[in-house]
Structure 1
C-alpha cells in the first residue's frame, strides 16, 4: 500500500480532527487570497478613477491635495483660478478640450460640482469609459442638476425632484440656498468612482445660486434676470485638460507651472494617483501581515494537533514498524498526512473564496464601488499557495522526526 493511500485511511480514522484542521486551513486561505484580491482590485479601481485626462490644473499647492479635491472631492482648494487664466490656457495650441470645475457647496453630505456640458461627453474613467445616463439628460436650464447613482440611491431621488444646495461642504449647514432650488434633470449610471457621490450643476447655476450672497450671508434680492449670458463666473476651483498629443504634455505642464499671471500647478493624474496610493501602503501591508499571521496560526494549530495525536498513535506506529515499515516510511506517512490536509484545506478555501466573491460581488460593487472579478489565481496568488504548501511540508517534518526517534520497543510498551 502506498503512502498516499495509507495516509488517507489514517486520516479517515481521525476524521473529526482532520476536518477541523482542513477548515482551519481553508479559512486562512480565504483570508490570505481574499485580502490579496481586494488589494489588487482596489488599487486597479483607484487607478481607474480618472482616465483620458492629460493634466489637472489648480492653484499652486501640492499634487496630492489638488488630486484629492478635484477628482475625489475631498478637502478644499487653497485658492481659485481666475476665469481669464482658464480661458487663456484653454485656447493654447495643443489643448484639445478642458473641463472647468467649481467646488465649495454640498447637499446633505454630498459634494456639488459646477462644470460645463462638455463634462458629460469627454470625461472618462476606468478603461476610457464615458459617462452614461440611467435616466434623464444633462442639464440645460440654469437650475438643472445631474446626480450620481449613489446620491440617487441614498436620498431616493428621481427626475423632477428638487435639490436645495447648502453653503460649504459639511454634512450640516445653516446657510441653505432655499430661494434657488435645483431640479434633477438626469441620473448617471453607476461608475464606482466619486462621480457617483456628486451632484453636477452648470457653472451658471453656481453663479446664480450665489447671487445676493456675500460668503454665507444672504443679501437683498437682485433685480436682473438670471440667465447664462450674465452669469459668467469670475473664478473656478480647477480644470481638467485633454491634449492633442502626449508629446506636448511636459511642455504644457511647464507652461502652466510657470504661468506669469497667477501661481498655478499642473499635475499628471497617473503620477499623482501613484503617489497617493503609496501613502496608503502602510494599511495595505498591515492587511497582508494580518493574513500571514492567520496562516501561521493555522499551521501552528495543525502542528499542535499532530504532536498531540502522535503520542496516541505510538502503538499504530509500532505496529507499522513490526510489519516491516522503516523509520523513513513512518516519516513519509506523517509528512504525507500533513500535505494532504493542506491540499484539502487549500481546495476548500478556493471553493469558499470564489463562492463568496460570486455572492458578494453585486453587494460590494453597489455599496463600495469596488468590482472584484472572478478570475483564476494570478502568479502572486499561486506563489502564496505554494508557500503555504511548502510551509505545511516543513511543519510535517516536526512530528515526523519525533516518530523517527521512537523505537519499536518504546512504541509497543504500555505506559503507566
Structure 2
C-alpha cells in the first residue's frame, strides 16, 4: 500500500481528531479567503457605482462624506447647494449633463431622491451601462415615483401603486406627507449598485411636498395639495411657452443652453425667464417661482471630455464668494480606502493568526497522538517500513489534513459569501457575487499548505528518531 493510502487509513482510524483538525483549518482558511474576497468585491462594487460620473459637486464638507451620501446613501448632507448653482453648473460649456440630488425624505426605511429625468437618461454605471426599466416608465405626472429594483422587490411595489413619503431619512420618520401621495410609475431593472436601494421622484415634486416646512415644522395652511401643485406646474409651462414665443431670435443661443439643463423642470425654466425680466414681475411670484426648488443636496456631472475634469474641479473649488466642493469620485474612493486601510490590515493580521492557530492545533494533535500510535509505528517497522518512511507518513498525513482543510475552507467561504450577499445588498446596495480566489490567492493557499508540512516536521523527526532507536534496541 502506498504512503497516501496508509495515511488515509490512519486518519480514518482517528476520524474524530482528524475532523476537528480539518474543521479548525477550514475556519481559518474561510476567514482568510472571505476577508480578501469581500474587500476586493466591495471595492469593485463601489467603483462600479461611480464609473460613469466625472464630478460630484456639493456644499463644502469632506470629500468622503459627499461621495457617501450622494451616491451610496450613507449619511446625510451637512449643508445644501442653492438650486441656482445647479443651474449654473448644468449650463457650463464643459458639462454634458447634470443630475441634481435632493435628499430629506424616506419611504419605509428607504431613502427618497429628488432628481430629474436625466437620472434615467444619463446616469451610467459599471463602465457605461445605462439604467433600464423592468416595468413601467419614468416621470409623467408631477407626483410620479420610480422605485429601485431592491425596493420594489422587498416592498412589493409595482406601477400604479400609491405610496406616502415621510419627512426624515432612513427609519427616522418625523412626518408623513399624507396629503401628497405619489404613484409608482416605473421600476428600474437591477443594477447591483445603490440605485436599487432608493425611490426617485421629480425634484420639483420634492420641493412641492416641503412647501410649508421652511420653519422646520409643517404649516398646513401653507402646504400645497397635489391638484394645486399640478395646476401651478401647468400654468408655469404655459407661461414658459408664451415667453419663448415672444422671445427675440437673439435668445436662441440661450434657449439651446437651457436645453442642456436636463434637471430643470418646466417650472424652473420659466423661473429663469422670470429672473431675466425681473422688473416686470416683482409684484407677485410666478407659478414657476413657487415650484422652483430652492436647494439641492448634490449634483452629479458628466463632462464632454474627461480630460477637463481636473480643470473644472480646480475652478469650482477655488470659488470663494459661494464656496463649493467638487470631487473626482475615483480619488474620493481612494481616500476612503486609505481611511479603511488600517481596519483591512487588522483583519488580515487576525486571519493570519487564525491560520497559525489552526496549524498549531494540527501540530498539537499530531504530537498528542504519537504515544498512542507507538504500536502502529512498531507494526509498520515489523512489516519492513524504514524509519524515514514512518516519518514521511506523518508528513503525508499533515499534507492531507491541510489540503482537506483548505478545500473545506473554500467551500465554507463560498457559502458565507452567498449568505452575506443579501445583507450587503440591503446595507450598501452592492451586489456580491461569490467567486473563487484569484491566481495570487491560490499561491497564498499553496503557501499555507507548505506551512502545514513544515509544522509536521517536528513530530516527523521525533518519530524518525524513536523508530530508529527502537530498531537498534536488543530484545531478549
2:113 aligned residue: 113
TM, length-normalised to structure 1 = 0.88
* CA deviations over 1:267-286 (Å, ceiling 9, x no partner): 00011112123323344334
User: CA separation of 1:361/1:404 partners in 2, compared to 1, >3 Å: closer, same or farther?
Assistant: same
Alignment of 1:213-362 (within 5 A): 213-214=213-214, 215-221=216-222, 225-227=231-233, 228-229=266-267, 230=288, 231-321=291-381, 325-351=385-411, 353-354=413-414, 356=415, 360=419
The farther-off stretch of 24-33 and 259-268 is 24-33
Alignment of 1:65-104 (within 5 A): 65-104=65-104
TM-score normalised per structure 2 = 0.78
Partner of 1:123: 123
Query: Shift of residue 160 of structure 1?
Result: 1.9
Q: CA RMSD in A?
A: 2.8
Map Cα deviations across residues 16-35 of structure 1 (whole Å, 9 max, x no partner). Answer: 44344334433433333233
Give 1:195 shift: 1.7
Q: Distance in 1 between matches of 2:374 and 2:383?
A: 15
The aligned counterpart of 1:378 is: 438
SS of aligned partner of 2:105 = strand
Quote the Cα distance in structure 2 between the aligned partners of 1:361 and 1:260.
46
Over 3 Å counting, the alpha-carbon distance change for 1:12 and 1:82 in structure 2 is closer
- Correspondence for 1:402: 462
Mean Cα displacement is larger for which, 242-251 or 20-29?
20-29
> Which residue of structure 2 aligns with residue 30 of structure 1?
30
Aligned mate of 1:388, from 413, 433, 448: 448
- Determine if contact 1:133/1:189 at 8 Å carries over to the other structure: yes
Structure 2 segments unaligned to the other structure (5+ residues): 234-265, 268-287
Q: Which residue of 1 aligns with 2:190?
A: 190
The unaligned stretches of length 5 or more in structure 1 are none
Structure 1 residues 282, 144: closer, same or farther in 2, change over 3 A?
Answer: same
Question: Are the counterparts in 2 of residues 108 and 172 from structure 1 also a CA contact under 8 Å?
Answer: no
How many corresponding residue pairs? 412
Seen in structure 2, the aligned counterparts of structure 1 residues 288 and 410 have a Cα distance that, compared at 3 Å, is same
Tell me whether 388-397 or 121-130 shows the greater mean CA deviation: 121-130
Aligned partner of 2:249 in structure 1 is none
Contact conserved, 1:99 with 1:240, CA < 8 A, in 2?
yes
Give the drift of 1:361. Answer: 8.5
Q: Higher mean Cα deviation, 154-163 or 221-230? A: 221-230
Match of 1:204 in 2: 204
Tell me the secondary structure at the aligned position of residue 383 of structure 1. Answer: helix
